Amino acid sequence: MNFQLYFCADGILRAKFSDDKPMIPVKFIYDNSDFAENDFKFWTRWWKYNVYFEEGLTVGKFLSCLEPWAEFWGDITGKDVREYIKEACHPVIIKKSTSDKLSLDWVGLFYYNKIEAEIEYFDEDDNFFEKDINEWINKPQNARLTGKWNIYSGYNLSGFINGKKEEYCIDHTPMNKLYNIPFILSDKQILYFNNLQFVNDNFNIKTDHVLDKNAFGVCEINNIRFVVGKKYHTMRNVIEGFFFGMHQTPSHRQDFLRQLKNINDEIKQTEKDLNKNDRNTEITNNKKSIKINITPNAFNPIITKIERDAEYWEHMLKLARYDNVVLRIGKINLAKEPENRFLNYIIDHNDKLANPQPSDYKLI
């Protein structure tokens, strides 16, 4: 059978079989199934079906649709979905000042495919952690095109204001401030090539032919060319796409924002203390040299996370050794293709794609 799942505007997730049949709440189907006590077995049979958003659905009602299985979706996404649902129900404190007012007209979930030329940087002595950051940033780097592409795909969750081109990140916004904002699932997917202008300017390679702007179906905005196609979304992809950029819990988000505010305040204070003659940009040999003033403790959140991950891994190793688990030690060699093949074409070992020469590097 081929069902469809609908996030309805009243906060109930419903299933549909055909246009001439009534929709049934998924919770009712769950309660009357053989897997009523096993969310995993139930959803692995349902999350492959296409998902649609009803007109009038808001972010808050979207979260309400997930509530019966909040723990399960939390396990799938690695985020505390139940806490986000609770946060959505908290009353919003309205301040007299309008500076903190969120004036988004709607929130959209989009699927994209991004392709960009792979650039390889090469410096035998390059070590970020052993150099002054200003020296590392301003040093010319050997770089070349590898002849391959980096291909990324995923979901983008953004807020919008009607009539404005800008998109707004909502990953750090409390759910109760988004509760009544309309939520739209785009039925389009975008394929675009990124960074082609950078390749043109630095490597003198014409990339206009990659996506000819005069070709059928090709669009161009701000020197970025793209094509648009139809996208069908599954339940699992929608949930993972929504929570992908979120913090693990609302509390983690608030801690992050507090740290960010403290760092921002320190930077502002540092800028006030700088002498007017001490500019952030110095001009040397007709080239711009960027000077960066590092705020004390600016990297503390990153260092803390690295240390926390290291402690967690050491803890897991101790447990494994305690249980006499056989651990694999040493380098793992990855399997390689016996031929350097692209579809039905085998690239010759003399081909520049397969065997780039050092002379291909260029300072940029």
pLDDT digits (tens, 9 = 90+) for 1-47: 578 999 999 999 999 887 777 889 999 999 888 888 899 999 999 99
173 is a domain residue: yes
Interatomic CA distance for residues 317 and 310, integer angstroms: 11
361 is a domain residue: no
Domain termination residue (choose one: 88, 122, 147): 88
Considering the domain architecture, whether residues 135 and 206 belong to the same structural domain is answered as: yes
44 is a domain residue: yes
Q: How many domains does the chain have?
A: 3
Considering the domain architecture, whether residues 221 and 287 belong to the same structural domain is answered as: no
Considering the domain architecture, whether residues 228 and 268 belong to the same structural domain is answered as: no
336 is a domain residue: no
346 is a domain residue: no
Model pTM score: 0.75
DSSP string, 119-156: EEEE-TT--GGGS-HHHHHHS--EEEEEEEEEEEEEEE
Percent of the chain at pLDDT > 70 equals: 74
36-50, 218-232, 252-266: which is most confident: 36-50
Considering the domain architecture, whether residues 132 and 44 belong to the same structural domain is answered as: no
Q: Which of 57-61, 105-109, 326-330 has the lowest mean pLDDT?
A: 326-330
5-9, 33-37, 202-206, 296-300: which is most confident: 5-9
240 is a domain residue: no
Residues 272 and 88 sit within 8 Å (Cβ to Cβ): no
pLDDT, mean of residues 267-273: 70
Considering the domain architecture, whether residues 226 and 254 belong to the same structural domain is answered as: no
Statement: residue 256 has pLDDT above 70: yes
Interatomic CA distance for residues 165 and 119, integer angstroms: 30
Q: Which residue has the higher pLDDT, 200 or 132?
A: 200
Interatomic CA distance for residues 7 and 49, integer angstroms: 13
Q: What is the mean pLDDT of the chain?
A: 80
Considering the domain architecture, whether residues 122 and 216 belong to the same structural domain is answered as: yes
Q: DSSP H helical segments within the chain, as ranges?
A: 26-31, 39-43, 59-66, 70-77, 81-88, 133-138, 175-178, 196-203, 235-243, 250-273, 300-322
pLDDT, mean of residues 232-250: 93
Q: For helices 81-88 and 250-273, what crossing angle results, to 10°?
A: 80
Strand, helix or coil for residue 92:
coil
Domain termination residue (choose one: 301, 322, 343): 322
Strand, helix or coil for residue 12:
coil
Task: Place 283 in a pLDDT band, splitting at 50, 70 and 90.
Answer: very low
pLDDT, mean of residues 202-206: 79
197 is a domain residue: yes
Domain termination residue (choose one: 60, 88, 116): 88
Interatomic CA distance for residues 260 and 267, integer angstroms: 11
Domain range for 261:
250-322
Considering the domain architecture, whether residues 318 and 219 belong to the same structural domain is answered as: no
Statement: residue 128 has pLDDT above 60: no
Considering the domain architecture, whether residues 73 and 121 belong to the same structural domain is answered as: no
Considering the domain architecture, whether residues 11 and 81 belong to the same structural domain is answered as: yes
Residues 118 and 145 sit within 8 Å (Cβ to Cβ): yes
